[in-house]
Amino acid sequence: MKTNKKGMTLVECIIAMAVFAIATTGFTMVATTCMKAQAKASRRMTATNNQTTNLEHFSSYSKVLDPEYCNVKPMSTGINKFKMTFDFGTVKVENDDIYGYRSVLDPSSPDGVFELSFFSAAEQVDLAEGEYWITLYNNSSSQHTWDINCAVPGDSQVFEFFNNEHDNSIQQALPRHIWAPNGGYMKFGFKQRTPGVGDLSSCLQITDVDANPPVTYHVGLSSDNLISEDKNYCAIYFDDGEFKSAKKFEEDHKDPDE
């Protein structure tokens, strides 16, 4: 009996290796493309989540606003102010204190195609030298009524208040206002009439008229005092019976496990 011991020829081996190489190359290219697509999708999702978080911070003022960091720009030119109407059938509510914004990721980023448009009650204020935009929070569990003025002893009327439209008719005292407990806040502008002139170490006088007798606090805007400045946007928190900077407030409420 004869046995066929014939194997693969050299040509057949070369052909088989070529086919295997082509198949492997194709698989590798497909796998590489899938990995790149997955990485791009992950980057885009991360960027979108970060941008959403920034917009939440912008809208709620839970952190000091930095428009450049959030890439937030007015939705339109001019005063960028819109009027919104809410029709509840028998009652129609109008709000003409709404601002429109658009948020775009870094244009230099390959994921810069994302653009979000939104409305917010938060207004952007262009600040010049010597001007400060302040958000004052009441983080205590009780309501407070505060009178705020800048007519501190020794002040030769070098300071004044202004609103988001830079109207300084309020002058050296703000209207009496009630701050709700657990996060009630108010925003206002404060400036040196002449940039660089005036002591910022205790330039705000805040009087708690609910206390008996009323209690007066002297709050400063200097960087080594109570308020941490970032492009002249400032946040003050009333917490544990004292006024604190955003930095000190966050430190006092930091999770010890972090």
- Residue 245 burial class via C-beta count within 10 angstroms: exposed 0-12, middle 13-18, buried 19 and up: buried
Together in a domain, 144 and 247: yes
Calculate mean pLDDT across residues 193-218: 87
Q: Which helix (H) or strand (E) holds 49?
A: helix 10-60
231 shares a domain with 144: yes
* 140 and 112 belong to one structural domain: no
Question: Which of the residue ranges 14-18, 143-147, 223-227 would you say has the lowest mean pLDDT?
Answer: 223-227
Residues 114, 193 within the same domain: no
Give me the CATH number covering residue 179.
Answer: 2.60.40
86 plus 188 within the same structural domain:
no
Q: Which of these, 73, 181, 75, 88, lies nearest to 126 by C-alpha position?
A: 73
Is residue 236 situated within a structural domain? yes
Quote the pLDDT of residue 208.
Answer: 93
In a domain, 31, yes or no: no
Whether residue 140 contacts residue 238, with contact meaning beta carbons closer than 8 Å, is answered with yes
Average pLDDT of span 213-240: 76
**Own/partner pairs for 76-81, CB < 8 Å, 24+ apart?**
76/100, 79/165, 80/124
Helix (H, G, I), strand (E, B) or coil at 20: helix
Whether the pLDDT of residue 117 is over 70: the answer is: yes
pLDDT of 34: 85
Average of per-residue pLDDT values in the chain? 76
Q: Which of 80, 97, 120 is the last residue of a domain?
A: 120
How many helices (H) and strands (E) the chain has is answered by 3, 13
Q: Would you say 163 and 189 are in contact if contact means Cβ atoms under 8 Å apart?
A: yes
Do both 153 and 245 map to the same domain?
yes
Confidence of residue 124 (pLDDT cuts 50, 70, 90): low
DSSP 83: E
Inform me whether the pLDDT recorded for 228 exceeds 60. no
pLDDT, residue 114, reads 66
In whole angstroms, what is the distance from residue 243 CA to residue 235 CA?
10
**How far is 198 from 169, CA to CA, in rounded Å?**
20
Please tell me the pTM assigned to this model: 0.56
Question: Is there a domain that residue 139 lies in?
Answer: yes
Q: pLDDT-based confidence at 56, cuts 50/70/90?
A: low
What's the CA gap between 128 and 88, in Å, rounded?
42
Q: Find the domain containing 142 and state its range.
A: 131-252
43: in domain: no
Q: What is the 3-state secondary structure (H, E, C) of 192-228?
A: ECCCCCCCHHHCEEEEECCCCCCEEEEECCCCCCCCC
Q: What token pair was written down for 113?
A: 């195609």
Q: 3-state class of 79 per DSSP?
A: coil
Q: Residue 220 in contact with residue 205, Cβ under 8 Å?
A: no
Q: How much is the average pLDDT of 118-143?
A: 81
191 within domain boundaries: yes
Note whether 169 and 233 are same-domain residues: yes
Are 160 and 210 part of one and the same domain?
Answer: yes
Torsion from C-alpha of 33, 38, 39, 44, nearest 10 degrees: 130
Phi and psi for 207 in degrees, rounded to 5? -110, 125
Count of domains observed in the chain: 2
Q: Are residues 165 and 211 in the same domain?
A: yes
Grouping H, G, I as helix, E, B as strand and the rest as coil, residue 53 is: helix
